[in-house]
Structure formats: structure tokens, C-alpha cells
Amino acid sequence: MTGTAIKIKNVLRTRTRLFFFRQSCRVAHYSVEQAENNQFTEEHFIKKFIIFSISAIMVSVCSPLFAAERYFSLSTGIFSPSKTTTVDNSFKPASIDYNVGWALGGAFGVGFDSGLRLENELVYRQTSPRTSGGDLWALAWMLNVWWDARNSSPITPYFGGGFGFGRGHVASPGLIDNSGSGIAYQAGGGLDCKIDQRLSLDVGYRYFGLSDTSSNGGVGSVDLVGSSVLAGLRWRF
């Protein structure tokens, strides 16, 4: 590769990173502004998030110059949610404990020479209550940012998190159906264990949450948080 081609490649990568940074700032600023004005709705957030995610997918798929590598991953594991609160049939406060459940997800992402990775992820989590009231579940579409702490060994630690849009349901022994949609978020890290040049084993931890913004006209809640331990495979191409 000539010196001119390398310079062009570096300029394109820099501009792409600035594009993603500016778009994420706009999404975050817009969400906060709408929330402060009590005008935040599910539709507002979905529109902004879809625009950002489609832009990320188009760049990663159609412009290989922007990334050192692209990858696809599948993972599964356990999900342990925290207690949730609701009301029973007498409309008295009730606290719900849950069994350890499961999680399943897939992701498509791009990695850069700096160790930064941008990722679109779709993940589903489900578990059952220790009493009654229906299952707890959450489906989330996330946009994640990870940083790989690269080293000379085949094991690479990584850290990061993300946000997105989700829909979920928490158990309720009463008449209120605690289901709704809102902002999903997560933070965590893990270890990428290289098997060969294209395949690796990914073992990680995620602290996941779903903040309700729309549920039964404001009656009931699907605010839920929990921890996941996941293991999966990542294919680079």
C-alpha cells in the first residue's frame, strides 16, 4: 500500500469515528432534552436509535477501509435479575424474587486498530418467579462500544457498555400487566480467547437494565436490572 493510500485510509477512519461520536452525542442530547421537557416518547427514541444503528451497519458492511476487522458472534448463558416490586390483587405492595434464567444473543460489529469496537447486538433474557405472576423477560436491541486491552497473549480482556431500546415484562401476582418498552443499557467486560485467526471464545459478564417509559398508560412498571454471565463464539471476517 502506497503512502497516499495509507493517508487516505487514516483520514477515512478518523472521520468515521467522529461521525459515530457526533451521532451518539446527538441521540443522548435529544433523549435528555425530551425527558427534561416531559416530551420523551418511545417513538422519538426509536427513530433516533434506528437512524444511528442503520448508519453503523451501512458503514461497517459497505466500507471495509474503515475497520481493521468485522465480526459476528453468538452467545448464551445465565441471567439473574434483581427483585422487582408490584402490587397484588389487593393493590398492596409485593416484592418478587426470581430463579436463575437464561440469555441468548447475537451481535455484528467492527473493530479498529486502536482496540475500539462498535457493535450492534440483539439479546433476549428470560426467567421465572419463585412464586406466581408470569415470567420475567426482556428483548433488547443494543449499540455497544467495547475496548480491547490487546497484548501478546491469545487472551484479550475487554471492557465497555452500551444503550439501546428494549421491551420487557416483569412478574405480577395482581391484575396489572407489568409490560412495557423503554431505554435499555448495559455495562460489563470479559475475555476473548483466540482459537485461531478467525475464531475465538468469548466469556463475559453484563450488568443489564431496562428503564420503563411506556406501561399501561403509566400504571405498573417494568424497570428491571440483572446480571448475565455469557459464553459464545466470535467469527472474524
Q: Tell me whether residue 42 is exposed, middle or buried, using C-beta atoms within 10 angstroms of its C-beta: 0 to 12, 13 to 18, 19 or more.
A: middle
Whether 202 has a pLDDT exceeding 90, the answer reads yes
Q: Which of the four pLDDT bands, split at 50, 70 and 90, describes residue 32?
A: very low
For the chain, give every domain's residue range: 66-236
**Mean pLDDT within 55-79:** 73
**Stronger pLDDT, 80 or 62, i.e. the higher one:** 80
pLDDT at residue 231 tops 90: yes
Give SS3 for 138: strand
CA–CA separation, 100 and 196 (whole Å): 33
Q: Give the pLDDT confidence score for residue 134 in this predicted structure.
A: 81
* pLDDT tens-digit map of 123-177: 999 999 988 778 899 999 999 999 999 999 999 999 999 999 899 988 877 677 6
Terminal CA-to-CA distance of the chain, rounded, Å? 20
Q: Are 143 and 52 in contact (CB under 8 A)?
A: yes
CA-CA distance, 181 to 167, in Å (whole number)?
4
Percentage of the chain beyond pLDDT 70 is: 65
What is the rounded distance in angstroms from the CA atom of residue 177 to the CA atom of residue 220?
Answer: 7
CATH architecture of structural domain 66-236? Beta Barrel (2.40)
Residue 210 has pLDDT above 70, yes or no: yes
Mean pLDDT for all residues in the chain: 79
Check residue 94 and give its pLDDT: 76
Torsions phi, psi for 199 (to 5 deg) = -120, 140
